[in-house]
């Protein structure tokens, strides 16, 4: 079974791993990651001998910046790209055979254990990522583990964790997300919510922690399904929560009700490219235990302004989920779904083979009404099946040539947004009104006269091949 270290060996075999020595946790690791990410095929980076820290206390970034590493982590062919990769992930999501975790007695993550007064989260080289950030973040590529106090199911979700002091960190959780809904159940009873944070995490658990699964469905069971083997867990030292045996670094503690204890969180450079959520009071974790493997690896995902894209795995999972949401509502003939690398969930593209009038718009309205497709978006673009939704040149060509702005653009209001939305006006932000509008851009040929739409001209693939062969000296 895969853990972070076996994944690292796999990445090395792909020729996609670079070791960086003696970088500073203060701004350098963030900057090196961002600059290297602008290259066409960025390697994964393993930082060692980090300034102020003993050798062996490492940081791993760029985990999922290429589609090949994404496929490798998910056990798929590393040759897959674009829509075929989304299709493969979609099939994984379709099969409903959740595998609950199995409990082990011990794991390497218990090699070093610190309790209560010995707790110091600064023993890890948590980076200061972007210059105007409000502090050092220990949790970026992490999983925050909580359990529903009523039904007992266990939730894993990626959320950023800022260091406040040796045994205090803060947690940013968007309204409506399951970690917040679970914590609120404890808080309503005046109790603290037990929590564990895994901040050196294996790729499959990291991938599923970014997913919005239905209420009551544990990301653990789903990870088991994906990797075709149950996740191995140990029992958390102070909370009893299940902790992945593959973890590198774990914090355990409790989140008191925010009216008892809250702290200003942020600002943090977000994936949108902005400091949109600014600073605001956020829940605090009182850390009761810290444990880690020898020579621990902290997983880090600094957010950039979508380009360089920090993660294909989240793009591809999101696209696969949107596609499944459409099909689950009975709408067929979707030929591809993608999120533009430069806008992600703000720019969803759906390709389909139109079968009847209104078919394309149905797909868009389902997307906006469903949980994954309906969160924090802005544009849903509809294209015909001759367009590759993962090729933005193709998509913009379709928008430019097949869309009549007056009749092809539809506005939907009252949609689920988030404090991360940079376009929320200040008065709405101040009122806690995290709701925005969406545009459906229908760039499909109008169904009723699709056969009269001017024909497309371009070289057919066979003639293209013949010409390339015959004129090889021209095309060298």
Ligand X SMILES: Cc1cc2nc3c(=O)[nH]c(=O)nc-3n(C[C@H](O)[C@H](O)[C@H](O)COP(=O)(O)O)c2cc1C
**Does position 272 bind Mn ion by CB under 5 A?**
no
- For residue 93, give the 3-state DSSP assignment: helix
Measured from the CB atom, the residue of 268 and 379 that comes closer to ligand X is 268
State the nearest-atom distance from the C-beta of 140 to ligand X, in Å.
Answer: 6
Residue 280 CB partners (closer than 8 Å, separation 6+): 264, 265, 266, 419
Cα distance between residue 237 and residue 335, in whole Å: 48
Kindly write out the interface string for residues 96-135 of this chain, putting x where it contacts Mn ion by CB under 5 A and - elsewhere: ----------------------------------------
Residue 207-226 contact track with Mn ion, rule CB under 5 A, x = bound: ------x-------------
Joined together, the tokens standing for residue 202 give 């294996």
Would you say 155 or 335 has its CB closer to Mn ion?
155
Q: Which does 246 bind (CB under 5 to 8 A by kind): ligand X, Mn ion, none?
A: none
Q: How many CB atoms lie within 10 A of CB 431?
A: 9
∠ CA 92-391-393, nearest 5°, is 165
Collapsed DSSP state (helix, strand, coil) of residue 271: coil
Residue 255, both tokens:
């989140």
The answer, yes or no, to whether the previous bond of 267 is cis (omega within 30 of 0) is yes
Tell me the closest approach of the beta carbon of residue 407 to ligand X, in angstroms. 34
The stretches of 212-330 forming alpha helices (DSSP H) are 219-227, 312-328
Minimum CB separation of residue 122 from ligand X in Å reads 20
Nearer to Mn ion, 164 or 370 (CB): 370
Of 123 and 160, which CB lies nearer to ligand X in the complex structure? 160
Order of strands, edge to edge, in the sheet holding 242-244?
102-103, 232-235, 242-244
**Are residues 278 and 267 in contact, defined by beta-carbon separation less than 8 angstroms?**
yes
Q: Is 174 in the site for Mn ion (CB under 5 A)?
A: no
Nearest residue (CB) to Mn ion, 211 versus 297: 211
Kindly state the smallest distance separating residue 474's Cβ from Mn ion, in Å: 55
User: How does strand 280-292 pair with strand 249-255?
Assistant: antiparallel
146, 155, 239, 354: residue in contact with Mn ion (rule CB under 5 A): 155
Nearer to Mn ion, 80 or 223 (CB): 223
Pairing mode of beta strands 347-352, 334-339: antiparallel
Asked if 101 and 242 count as a contact pair (C-beta separation under 8 A), the reply is yes
Min CB(355)–Mn ion separation in Å: 34
Least distance from ligand X to the Cβ atom of residue 207, Å: 9
By CB under 5 A, which span of 63-71, 155-163, 195-203, 392-400 interacts with Mn ion?
Answer: 155-163
φ and ψ of 307, to 5 deg: -125, 125
The residue (of 29 and 182) whose beta carbon lies closer to Mn ion is 182
The interface region with Mn ion, picked from 35-43, 71-79, 147-155, 389-397 by CB under 5 A, is 147-155
Q: How far is the CB of 197 from Mn ion (least distance, A)?
A: 15
Output the smallest distance, CB 117 to ligand X, in A: 29
> Does residue 178 bind Mn ion (CB under 5 A)?
yes
Partner from Mn ion, ligand X, none binding residue 314, C-beta < 5-8 Å depending on class: ligand X
Closest CB to ligand X among residues 160, 365:
160
Q: What residues contact residue 356 under an 8 Å CB cut-off, 6+ apart?
A: 447
Q: How far apart are the first and last CA of the chain?
A: 44
The site partner of 45 among Mn ion, ligand X, none (C-beta below 5 to 8 Å per kind) is none
Distance of alpha carbon 309 from alpha carbon 100, whole angstroms: 32
Is the CB of 43 or the CB of 302 nearer to ligand X? 302
| Nearest of 277, 231, 224 to residue 95 by alpha carbon | 224
Please state the closest distance from residue 45 (CB atom) to ligand X, in A: 16
User: From the list ligand X, Mn ion, none, which binds 58 (C-beta under 5 to 8 Å, kind-based)?
Assistant: none
Residues near ligand X (CB under 6 A) are 141, 155, 157-160, 172-174, 177-179, 209-212, 301, 314
Instruction: Answer yes or no: are the C-beta atoms of 77 and 69 closer than 8 Å.
Output: no
Strands 44-48 vs 17-21: parallel, antiparallel or unpaired: parallel
Cβ proximity to Mn ion: between 37 and 139 the closer is 139
Nearest approach, Cβ of 46 to Mn ion (angstroms)? Answer: 29
Answer with the entry of Mn ion, ligand X, none that 408 interacts with (C-beta below 5 to 8 A by kind): none
Closest of 453, 452, 472, 469 to residue 461, by C-alpha = 469
Distance of CA 86 to the CA centre of its chain: 14
- Which DSSP helix (H) or strand (E) runs through 281? strand 280-292
Count of positions on this chain that bind Mn ion (CB under 5 A): 3
- In the complex, the residues that contact Mn ion under the rule CB under 5 A are 155, 178, 213
């Amino acid at each position: 079974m895969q853990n972070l270290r076996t994944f690292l060996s796999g990445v090395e075999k792909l020729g996609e791993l670079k070791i960086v020595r003696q970088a500073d946790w203060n701004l350098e690791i963030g900057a090196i990651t961002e600059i290297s990410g602008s290259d066409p095929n960025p390697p994964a980076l393993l930082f060692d001998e980090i300034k102020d820290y003993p050798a062996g206390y490492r940081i791993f970034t760029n985990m999922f910046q290429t589609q090949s590493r994404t496929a490798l982590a998910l056990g798929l062919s590393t040759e897959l790209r674009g829509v075929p990769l989304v299709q493969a992930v979609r099939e994984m999501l379709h099969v409903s055979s959740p595998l609950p975790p199995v409990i082990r007695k011990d794991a390497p993550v218990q090699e070093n254990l610190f309790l209560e007064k010995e707790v110091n989260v600064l023993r890890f080289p948590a980076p200061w990522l972007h210059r105007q950030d409000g502090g050092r973040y220990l949790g970026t590529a992490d999983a925050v583990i909580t359990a529903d106090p009523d039904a007992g199911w266990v939730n894993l979700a990626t959320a950023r964790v800022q260091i406040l002091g040796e045994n205090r960190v803060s947690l940013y959780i968007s309204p409506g997300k399951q970690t917040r809904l679970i914590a609120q159940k404890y808080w309503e009873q005046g109790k603290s919510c037990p929590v564990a944070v895994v901040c050196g995490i294996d790729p499959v658990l990291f991938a599923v922690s970014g997913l919005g699964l239905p209420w009551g469905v544990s990301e653990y069971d789903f990870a088991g399904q994906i990797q075709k083997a149950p996740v191995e867990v140990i029992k958390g030292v102070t909370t009893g929560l299940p902790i992945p045996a593959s973890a590198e670094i774990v914090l355990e503690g409790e989140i008191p009700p925010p009216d008892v204890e809250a702290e200003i969180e942020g600002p943090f450079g977000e994936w949108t490219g902005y400091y949109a959520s600014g600073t605001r009071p956020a829940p605090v974790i009182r850390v009761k235990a810290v444990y880690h493997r020898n020579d621990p690896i902290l997983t880090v995902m600094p957010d950039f302004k979508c380009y360089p894209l920090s993660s294909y795995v989240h793009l591809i999972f999101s696209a696969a989920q949107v596609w499944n949401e459409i099909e689950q509502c009975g709408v067929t003939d979707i030929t591809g779904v993608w999120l533009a690398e430069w806008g992600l969930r703000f720019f969803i593209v759906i390709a389909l083979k139109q079968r009847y009038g209104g078919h394309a718009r149905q797909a868009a309205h389902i997307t906006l009404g469903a949980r994954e497709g309906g969160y924090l978006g802005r544009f849903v673009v509809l294209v015909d099946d001759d367009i590759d939704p993962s090729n933005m040149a193709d998509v913009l060509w379709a928008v430019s040539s097949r869309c009549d702005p007056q009749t092809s653009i539809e506005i939907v209001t009252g949609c689920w947004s988030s404090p991360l939305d940079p376009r929320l006006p200040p008065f709405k932000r101040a009122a806690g009104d995290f709701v925005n509008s969406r545009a459906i851009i229908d760039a499909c040929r109008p169904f009723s006269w699709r056969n009269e739409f001017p024909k497309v001209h371009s070289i057919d693939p066979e003639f293209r091949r013949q010409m390339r062969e015959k004129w090889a000296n021209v095309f060298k």
